[in-house]
Amino acid sequence: MLPQAAEQKFAKAICSLNQKLLRAAIREGVNEAEPCSLFIEPFLSGLFDHY
């Protein structure tokens, strides 16, 4: 079981990934180079954010 702080960071990362996915689904013409910056970066920043 994860500590509460880790659970909160994981939940925040999932929420930010979900928000990015929704925006990308609405937007047209996603470039092939964009998926990393659109999906992976928000997820990882939510996990490693120390604020």
What are the boundaries of each domain within the chain?
4-48
Alpha-carbon torsion angle 15, 21, 27, 33, nearest 10: 120
> pTM of the full predicted structure?
0.45
Whether 2 shows a pLDDT value over 70: the answer reads no
Check residue 44 and give its pLDDT: 72
d(CA 25, CA 28) in angstroms, rounded, equals: 7
Could you report the per-residue pLDDT of 7-30, keeping only the tens digit for each? 888 888 878 777 776 665 555 555
Whether 5 shows a pLDDT value over 70: the answer reads yes
From residue 15, give the alpha-carbon distance in Å to each of 29, 31, 32, 33: 23, 23, 23, 22
Whether 36 shows a pLDDT value over 80: the answer reads no
